[in-house]
Amino acid sequence: MRPSISYIKIKPEVVVVTGASAGVGRAIVQAFAKRGACIGLLARGHKGLEGARRDAEVAGGQALVIPTDMADADQVEAAAAKVEETFGPIDIWINVAMTSVFSPVKEMKPEEYKRVTEVTYLGYVYGTLAALGRMLPRDKGRIIQIGSALAYRGIPLQSAYCGAKHAIQGFTESLRCELDHDKSHVKISMVELPAVNTPQFGWVKNRLPRKAQPVPPIYQPEVIADAVAYVADHYRRQLFVGLSTVIVIQANKIVPGFGDWYLGRTGFKSQQTSQPADPNAPNNLWKPVDDDKDYGAHGAFDEKAIDKSWQVWADTHRGLLGLVGAGIAGVVTATVIRRGK
């Protein structure tokens, strides 16, 4: 008689994505759905959230739509509770939600700084707290913060956003130290982004004379999503996406004054297209613009955007590159020895 074989059913991972309705968040939803994940979708725009749910289900995952303003800690906590009631314990929490204002500092309003900070910085704090409250007792879980090169190097016309990203970086480093002190198995990572082709440039509040654009080189949001999925499986304290991100962050450590000079002369023009801005265009600072329309993951810069980062590939294949390098070194050494005989 042949022995029976028992099959263990592997539970799908439970993931929360904030800012899930569009842009980078939307691409991350699609990436995890392909893995069969159960995903809590947090954002404000109803059409965008429904679009993200459809994307997830088509890709093979399950999704729960939870309209949430990340600036409201009670809403974030309630959303986390609903995800666990529906899918079970949260394995991975990914903070993406953001808003911004394109404007010189001298024209910014106090309430605009407050709102950008509440969404883009405190939204990450509230999301992290909701995740920690559930992960720490289990001593298990991953929190991934979507950062930016602008967490290290401020640029003109985005002072509120740059300030919030700097704050996220400091908050995350403090928390990481505490987790290390407690010998916790809960891990927190930051994925630092380059310019990305997302709808945000068409719906952020813009006080500039021309339409806003990301500073080239521009990457497709799927490049970011793949990097986030990698970090979820292979812990990294930090992962830079795009060679431009590496250059900006490292150069700012060495010659920050040059960055001030260079961006003061190029940063205004490089963040604007040649098309005049519509001063009456809707923006998502106070309310979502995707309540009536689904914008998806991509913005208006598909023709300029790059769909692969060789820098990320190299960073995530260090072992392979090391073997190749060792092989080349071995061949060179052997050749030198033979010629010396």
Q: Which residues are catalytic?
A: 161
Q: Tally Cβ neighbours within 10 Å of residue 82.
A: 15
For residues 88 and 41, what is the distance between their CA atoms, to the nearest angstrom?
A: 15
Distance in angstroms between the alpha carbons of the first and the last residue of the chain: 67
**HSE of 242, CA atoms in CB hemisphere, 13 A:** 27
Alpha-carbon distances of 195 from 35, 278, 301, 307, 320, rounded to whole Å: 26, 23, 11, 12, 28
Q: Sort 19 into a burial class: Cβ within 10 Å, 0-12 / 13-18 / 19+.
A: buried
**Contact predicate 83/37, CB 8 Å:** no
Q: Supply the DSSP symbol for 146.
A: E
